[in-house]
Amino acid sequence: MKRLLPLLLLSLPALAAPVTVIDDAGSRITLKAPARRVISLAPHVTELAFAAGGGKHLIGVDSNSDYPDAAKALPKVGSFRAIDLERIIAAKPDLLLVWLHGPSAKQLEPLRRLGIPLFYSQPKRFADVPSNLRRIGTLLGSSAEAESAARQFETDLATLRQQQAGKTRLRVFYQVWDKPLYTLNGQHMVSDAISLCGGNNVFAKLPLIAPVVSDEAVIAANPEVILSAAMRTGDDLLARWTRYPAIAAVQNKHLYQVNGDLLNRPGPRLIAGTRQLCDKLDLARTPPIQKANTQP
């Protein structure tokens, strides 16, 4: 019997150890074991969970989570404006992944009272993306995959920084939406992306993260490049600026659309979005082709 005991112990399933992380709200999240029934309430957190290797544990997402394709097939439990409390409670999640600017504290309070742990995600700088990947990987028991994704992000970011170093600085206006006219200030990660690509966000110093600005303010800032986040199919969000030929970006036809989902969602695809942004600024730096002089 003594000889069989070690073999019997080896055959028993390993006991899952508790996991602890600090979320982006500064709260300590401790789970008795890695989460196995997870609901994400923001598109960027859904992307982070899949990239961190925990997609198989997601049992519900918000209505805007559309990447990767596997997220589209998951049950929808509301949006950032209004969550479906009954559906979430019925799903019996052991972890909620939440955006700090998503559902209000009032909406989430009943879930908190039920003892469902909440992990708040709010990446503000490039370094926060791999940090979120690692912490979500810890909570979902997929640390190895999360570490691989985090290192890939860091490597790609370092390469991109090196490629963009020393380029001519350009004044940039980033248009998030047109009705009303929204932009982003210097505290948002998109402003970091603009800076990495050799741009200066003309509204970086505004106090609000997502301020509404006027056409007159844009004219006064006189950006050399105007970028529009394309998030609405079939609409030309840049057409309004052709009325203002005094703006340098309009004079030189430096009006470009970029993929808003890649840039505005602070997740792993931010690298691809930043590359796209850098490509647009490089176009603006390219001198126009001069017509050959046909005069004798």
DSSP-assigned letters across all residues of 186-224: TTSHHHHHHHHTTEEETTTT-SSSS-B--HHHHHHH--S
Looking at residue 211, what is its pLDDT? Answer: 95
- The whole-number pLDDT of residue 48 equals 98
Phi/psi at 214 (5° precision): -100, 160
Length of the chain, please? 296
Per-residue pLDDT of the chain (296 residues; tens, 9 = 90+): 555 545 444 444 445 689 999 999 999 999 999 999 999 999 999 999 999 999 999 999 999 999 999 999 999 998 877 889 999 999 999 999 998 776 777 888 899 999 999 999 999 999 999 999 999 999 999 999 999 999 999 999 999 999 999 999 999 999 998 889 999 999 999 999 999 999 999 999 999 999 999 999 999 999 999 999 865 555 566 888 999 999 999 999 999 999 999 999 999 999 999 999 999 999 999 876 444 444 44
Give the pLDDT confidence score for residue 108 in this predicted structure. Answer: 87
- The residue ranges of every structural domain in the chain are 15-153, 166-285
The amino acid that residue 237 corresponds to is L
CA-CA distance, 287 to 224, in Å (whole number)?
13
| Identical fold, 15-153 and 166-285 | yes
CATH, range 166-285: 3.40.50.1980
- Position 3 scores a pLDDT of 56
Rounded Cα distance between 174 and 193, Å, is: 11
- What pLDDT, on the 0 to 100 scale, is given for residue 2? 52
Q: What own/partner pairs with CB < 8 Å and gap ≥ 24 does 84-93 have?
A: 85/110, 85/111, 87/60, 88/39, 88/60, 89/114, 91/37, 91/39, 91/59, 91/60, 92/37, 93/35, 93/37, 93/38, 93/39, 93/59, 93/60
Residue 219's contacts (CB-CB under 8 Å, 6 or more residues apart) are 244, 246, 247
- Closest to 101 measured CA to CA, from 265, 270, 273: 265
Of the candidates 117, 186, 159, 142, the one whose C-alpha atom is nearest the C-alpha of residue 51 is 142
Tokens found for residue 240: 């309004």
Classified by CATH at the fold level, domain 15-153 comes out as Rossmann fold (3.40.50)
For residues 263 and 149, is the Cβ–Cβ distance under 8 A?
no
Give the separation between CA 278 and CA 199, rounded to whole angstroms.
9
